[in-house]
Amino acid sequence: MIEPFSKAEWSRKSWVESANEAGCGFPMQSLPYCIFADEEGRARTGVGIGAFVLDLRWCRGAGLLDGLPGPLLAACEAKTLNALLGCGSVAHAGLRNRLMDLLDAEAEEATREAVGAALIAKETATLLKPVESANYTDFYASIHHATRVGRLFRPENPLLPNYKFVPIGYHGRASSVVVSGTPVRRPHGQTRPPEAGGEPAWGPTQFLDYEVEVGLYIGDGNPLGEPIGIRQAGEHIFGISLLNDWSARDMQVWESQPLGPFLAKSFATSVSAWVVPMAALAPFRYPLTLHHPDDPSPLKYLFDGWDQYGGAIDLTVGAWLLTSVMRAAGEAPHRLSEGSLMDLYWTPAQLVAHHTSNGCNLLPGDLLGTGTISGREDESAGCLLELTAGGKKPILLPNGETRGALEDGDEVILRGFCRREGFPDVSLGECRGVVVRAV
């Protein structure tokens, strides 16, 4: 069920002036969580506010969080967000309310001084991997992506008949999920023979690609054998993050027959350092709009009126490319595409409900990817496979370079934000990764 939001809450201002600036992306209503390293290199739990990171371990030690549940206080001193994610929605709401009160423009001077001692400039903070996910699942929830990719391989029948009935997904590799800024090594693998009956080739991928996605972090899990109903499924999502599902397309097309992705995906998945809680997205929830009147109705276990009414999220996501030549020349990254989370065929709640419908147990911190986010227009396609028609139509960059696939030294930058008139922007930050040569 989609919870209503308070307009009064979203009109509050903070005594942290940078949080009130238009377009800052980190207003007091957002409060995205992170893990950062202190001066001694120790991992600490933090919250983004304007141009700063608020040290929750410091807040706990200063008594600013007194009265909150013990497990929640302990989680504020942990080295990852996993314990915090597992504290439950009531505890999460209590912490959010406390932090907003501490940062409110009406807070007393003594409170401001105490909290001010726990603020670290964001540009000086070393952000670490926020969550250690035990499991990672990647979905295929964009119908435009599925159709456009299907058209490359099945021009006469691009969308398979099961797509509008079942949220398609596969189990990915959790151990190779890395935080933004981690270099991505070009992987080796097999590629299909140049002619029928020949032997496959082995070597570095020649078609390295990115995929613009959003990651969903699970809060409360479910016991093995007990599915999560669609009405409650959204409550099990703690927050969201940017996600880049790096893909070796030439390896993928060879090894995905007859099963799904394997080595073409498992070498790296990048996530942003910030986890934006679902409460921060409440004003940006809208009805699901992609379903055509002729489309089949979702099966009963995937249908909920509240989810259909407000389960979609109006989140803009985009990808930028910075080549080594552009970097050396001091040029700005070039935007490759921009899409919207509204272009998903399935809601986040439907993904959770389907994932657990067979009794599969999700754990706090588990990561679910939406799959590549692509819109109806070609310029909103979320990967090079789509933008270049499988590499056949390379992109011309402003400096004269072309790209049909990623080259060594290329940096892919994902950015995401929510925007609505009358409300402050909510940013997901950035997710970066530089491609380094194979070994």
Active-site residues, by number, are: 145
φ, ψ dihedrals at 264, nearest 5°: -70, -15
H or E stretch including 255? Answer: helix 249-255
Q: What is the CA radius of gyration of the chain?
A: 22
Strands of 64-185 (E only): list them: 119-121, 126-128, 136-139, 169-171, 177-179, 184-185
User: Residue 143 half-sphere exposure, CB side, CA atoms within 13 Å?
Assistant: 21
For residues 46 and 35, the answer to whether their CB atoms sit within 8 Å is yes
Residue type at position 57: R
Give the max Cα distance, the chain: 77
Integer CA distances (angstroms), 117 to 39, 46, 127, in order: 15, 13, 19
Integer CA distances (angstroms), 124 to 36, 38, 52, 414, in order: 10, 10, 9, 21
User: CA-to-CA distance for 53 and 97, rounded, in angstroms?
Assistant: 17
User: CA-to-CA distance for 16 and 29, rounded, in angstroms?
Assistant: 12
